């Protein structure tokens, strides 16, 4: 068969839109599709050539759209199918492709499959989910597995002795991928969107779709009890290849899978082109470097060498074997400002971090607002936080013998809502996001950090990102060159070389607030500096200085 799947994703710079918080055009306090359309010229100007859109499907919004009740319709407050088609056309007109978020590990409990499954024991949809008899005459869950939001992974179906599996909230029942009929339905959903013109998918928690079928309790209990059964389950590769063979191969589309707790080995096996599964995955090893065991609530002091080592491992292990995604933010992570060695209020530090991740080998992603240096929300009460995860965790922590004030502060600091406050377009009352009070409060620093200010300041982070995107497009070495870390043990400086036959790029960033000497600089010429955040270059690197050198080898 003719494989239509090409490698355009290697040249993509992808901008993630969280629709709820991007731009509200009908003044209901929620972002919408028309809002996205109204900002496409802004994205074109920035230079990105692809958008990843977080879910816009119909949904009760228990988890902001990551709980889908209808895969082929739009959540009405965001717009309708015609708006969606218009958005796709307007994007394509500007040379911007679109990848949709695809959430197929679970549905909403309001999806017609699930409603039917629990209503009728003989329903063909019953086997679309994991429904099992509880222990102790149905009074206790079938096993001791735990989900990602801290709760037990089973909920009892009211008035029965049966329970259903859900790895996220109880309103997000897990789909049973063992059932071939379900897999055919999923493929049809993929085809529906590809035929409509979308260019690919960001596949939500994709490495959870296969589960070990023993459904036994695990002892002793690890923190995420049962994870050996549901992370990278036994049929994961088979299912992904099946989707590739039956769907992706017939379209020029790309896929990026969110892989929870992925090791390099898993990363290679999921992205090796010969296996025909996914084009790339999100590997969180570097964003997890400031916490213990991948649990964001157990955060620890940032250490540059740890961050460097983890990114180095991602880069080196995939060389010649698979493809990387590059990111420092998304809708689940707190903002990068003030994180990963940067300092809030110091734009140079965000430029240093920006160039550091952006020129690694792989496809860079930019999360909405990252390009203007949007900061964390600095929440002061649980009422300001809407995220179901934060509220669930708060309930659980409150029952534990832990220092209450400290735990509360941790929730404020790491809540996913830090990334979900409205995009700030200007300094008007509601930040140009809306004309009414939005669904979640605006950042208090909206008069400082907003798009209008960024566009008026030639030294803004926005223009720095614009410059980086342009540079990447103009120099193939950023896409295909080899990667080599320099001075991996240096605790203040992140430096690496990208090189192909024609060109060599050296990226050097200081993560220190003091001047730092760096021996490697002696080998380089100031006249080769193409991107930087300082006008003059001293012998030593200035605080948070970044220099991107381009050396022509011909």
Which residues are bridge partners to 552 per DSSP? 503
Quick one: which of 285, 290, 293 has its CA closest to 341? Answer: 290
Q: Which is nearer to Ca ion, 53 or 236 (CB)?
A: 53
Q: What is the DSSP letter of 152?
A: B
φ, ψ of residue 342 in degrees (nearest 5): -90, 165
Q: Which residue has the tokens 């030294």?
A: 459
Q: Within 10 A of 400 (CB to CB), how many other CB atoms are there?
A: 8
| 30 makes contact with Ca ion (CB under 5 A) | yes
Quick one: which of 388, 389, 408, 387 has its CA closest to 397? Answer: 408
| 80 makes contact with Ca ion (CB under 5 A) | no
Q: Which is nearer to Ca ion, 423 or 454 (CB)?
A: 423
Active site residue 204: yes
| 28 makes contact with Ca ion (CB under 5 A) | yes
The residue within the footprint of Ca ion, chosen from 12, 17, 32, 508 (CB under 5 A), is 32
Query: Least distance to Ca ion from the beta carbon of 43, Å?
Result: 19
329 binding partner (options ligand ISL, Ca ion, none; Cβ < 5 to 8 Å by kind) = none
Active site residue 58: no
Q: Which is nearer to Ca ion, 28 or 501 (CB)?
A: 28
Token output for 116: 């039917």
Query: Least distance to Ca ion from the beta carbon of 345, Å?
Result: 32
58 binding partner (options ligand ISL, Ca ion, none; Cβ < 5 to 8 Å by kind) = none
Q: Which residues bind ligand ISL (CB under 6 A)?
A: 63, 66, 103, 148, 168, 204-205, 258, 260, 296, 331-332, 389, 416
30 binding partner (options ligand ISL, Ca ion, none; Cβ < 5 to 8 Å by kind) = Ca ion
Q: Is 309 exposed, middle or buried (0-12, 13-18, 19+ CB in 10 A)?
A: middle
Query: Least distance to ligand ISL from the beta carbon of 21, Å?
Result: 13
| 36 makes contact with Ca ion (CB under 5 A) | no
Query: Least distance to ligand ISL from the beta carbon of 420, Å?
Result: 9
Query: Least distance to Ca ion from the beta carbon of 23, Å?
Result: 8
290 binding partner (options Ca ion, ligand ISL, none; Cβ < 5 to 8 Å by kind) = none
Q: Which is nearer to Ca ion, 29 or 226 (CB)?
A: 29
What are the start-end ranges of the E strands in 408-481? none
Query: Least distance to ligand ISL from the beta carbon of 1, Å?
Result: 32
63 binding partner (options Ca ion, ligand ISL, none; Cβ < 5 to 8 Å by kind) = ligand ISL
Query: Least distance to ligand ISL from the beta carbon of 258, Å?
Result: 6
The DSSP line for 283-319 is --TTGGGGEETTEEEEE----HHHHHHHHHHHHHHHT
Task: List the x/- string, 201-240, binding to Ca ion by CB under 5 A.
Answer: ----------------------------------------
Query: Least distance to ligand ISL from the beta carbon of 89, Å?
Result: 27
Token output for 2: 């003719």
Q: Within 10 A of 458 (CB to CB), how many other CB atoms are there?
A: 7
Quick one: which of 550, 537, 430 has its CA closest to 478? Answer: 550
Q: Which is nearer to ligand ISL, 150 or 345 (CB)?
A: 150
Beta-carbon-side half-sphere exposure of residue 324 (alpha carbons within 13 Å)? 31
Query: Least distance to Ca ion from the beta carbon of 436, Å?
Result: 10
State the greatest distance between any 2 C-alpha atoms of the chain, in Å, as a whole number.
77
In angstroms, rounded to a whole number, what is the distance separating the alpha carbons of residues 210 and 244? 16
CA distances from 383 to 416, 417, 439 (A): 14, 12, 12
26 binding partner (options Ca ion, ligand ISL, none; Cβ < 5 to 8 Å by kind) = Ca ion
In angstroms, rounded to a whole number, what is the distance separating the alpha carbons of residues 507 and 485? 10
146 binding partner (options ligand ISL, Ca ion, none; Cβ < 5 to 8 Å by kind) = none
Give the nearest residue (CB) to Ca ion.
Answer: 32
- Annotated catalytic residue: which of 32, 58, 101, 258? 258
Q: Are 313 and 285 in contact (CB under 8 A)?
A: yes
Terminal-residue alpha carbon distance, the chain:
41
| 26 makes contact with Ca ion (CB under 5 A) | yes
24 binding partner (options ligand ISL, Ca ion, none; Cβ < 5 to 8 Å by kind) = Ca ion
Burial 353-381 (b: 16+ CB within 10 A, else e): bbbbbbbbbbbbbbbbbbbbbbbbbebee
Helix, strand, or coil (residue 282): strand
Q: Which is nearer to ligand ISL, 260 or 451 (CB)?
A: 260
The residue within the footprint of Ca ion, chosen from 24, 67, 199, 389 (CB under 5 A), is 24
Token output for 529: 């500096």
- Annotated catalytic residue: which of 101, 171, 204, 389? 204
Quick one: which of 330, 412, 308 has its CA closest to 374? Answer: 330
125 binding partner (options Ca ion, ligand ISL, none; Cβ < 5 to 8 Å by kind) = none
Using the contact rule CB under 5 A, the part of the chain among 18-26, 181-189, 476-484, 494-502 near Ca ion is: 18-26
Q: Which is nearer to Ca ion, 23 or 68 (CB)?
A: 23
Helix, strand, or coil (residue 214): coil
In angstroms, rounded to a whole number, what is the distance separating the alpha carbons of residues 58 and 172? 14
Q: Which is nearer to ligand ISL, 73 or 332 (CB)?
A: 332
* CA dihedral for 213, 216, 217, 221, sign (positive or negative): negative
Interface residues toward Ca ion, by CB under 5 A: 24, 26, 28, 30, 32
So which residues are the catalytic ones?
204, 258
């Amino acid at each position: 068969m003719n494989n239509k799947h090409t490698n355009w994703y290697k040249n993509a710079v992808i901008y993630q839109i969280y629709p709820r918080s991007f731009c509200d055009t009908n003044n209901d306090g929620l972002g919408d599709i028309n809002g996205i359309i109204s900002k496409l010229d802004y994205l074109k100007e920035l230079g990105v050539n692809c958008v990843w859109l977080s879910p816009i499907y119909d949904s009760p919004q228990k988890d902001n759209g990551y709980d889908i009740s209808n895969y082929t319709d739009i959540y009405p407050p965001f717009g309708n199918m015609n708006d969606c088609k218009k958005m796709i056309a307007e994007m394509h007109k500007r040379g911007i492709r679109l990848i949709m978020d695809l959430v197929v590990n679970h549905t909403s409990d309001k999806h017609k499959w699930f409603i039917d499954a629990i209503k009728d024991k003989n329903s063909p949809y019953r086997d679309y989910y994991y429904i099992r008899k509880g222990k102790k005459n149905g009074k206790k869950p079938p096993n001791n597995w735990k989900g990602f939001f801290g709760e037990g992974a089973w909920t009892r179906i009211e008035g029965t002795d049966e329970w259903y599996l859900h790895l996220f909230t109880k309103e997000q029942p897990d789909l049973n991928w063992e059932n071939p009929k379900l897999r055919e339905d999923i493929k049809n959903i993929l085809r529906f969107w590809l035929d409509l013109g979308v260019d690919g998918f960001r596949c939500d928690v994709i490495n959870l779709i296969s589960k070990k079928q023993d459904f036994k309790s695990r002892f002793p209990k690890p923190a995420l009890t049962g994870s050996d059964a549901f992370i990278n389950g036994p049929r994961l590769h088979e299912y992904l290849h099946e989707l590739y063979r039956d769907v992706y191969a017939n379209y020029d589309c790309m896929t990026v899978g969110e892989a929870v707790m992925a090791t390099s080995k898993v990363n290679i096996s999921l992205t090796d082109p010969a296996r025909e599964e996914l084009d790339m995955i999100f590997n969180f090893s570097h964003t997890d470097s400031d916490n213990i065991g991948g649990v964001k609530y157990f955060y620890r002091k940032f250490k540059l060498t740890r961050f460097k080592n983890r990114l180095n491992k991602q880069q080196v292990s995939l060389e010649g074997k698979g493809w990387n995604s590059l990111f420092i933010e998304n809708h689940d992570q707190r903002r990068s400002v003030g994180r990963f060695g940067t300092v809030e209020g110091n734009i140079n530090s965000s430029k240093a971090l920006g160039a550091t991740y952006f020129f690694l080998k792989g496809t860079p992603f930019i999360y909405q607002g990252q390009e203007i240096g949007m900061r964390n929300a600095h929440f002061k009460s649980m009422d300001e936080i809407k995220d179901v995860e934060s509220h669930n965790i708060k309930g659980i922590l409150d029952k534990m013998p832990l220092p209450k004030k400290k735990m509360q502060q941790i929730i404020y600091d790491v809540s996913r809502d830090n990334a979900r406050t409205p995009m700030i377009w200007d300094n008007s009352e509601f930040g140009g996001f809306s004309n009414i009070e939005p669904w979640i409060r605006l950042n208090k620093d909206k008069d400082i950090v907003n798009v209008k200010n960024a566009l008026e300041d030639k030294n803004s982070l926005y223009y720095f990102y614009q410059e980086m995107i342009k540079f990447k497009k103009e120099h193939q070495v950023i896409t295909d060159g080899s990667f080599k870390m320099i001075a991996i043990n240096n605790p203040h400086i992140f430096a690496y070389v990208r090189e192909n036959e024609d060109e060599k790029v050296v990226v050097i960033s200081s993560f220190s607030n003091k001047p730092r000497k760096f021996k490697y600089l002696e080998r380089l010429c100031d006249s080769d500096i193409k991107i930087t955040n300082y006008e003059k270059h001293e012998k030593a690197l200035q605080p948070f200085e970044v220099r991107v050198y381009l050396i022509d080898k011909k």
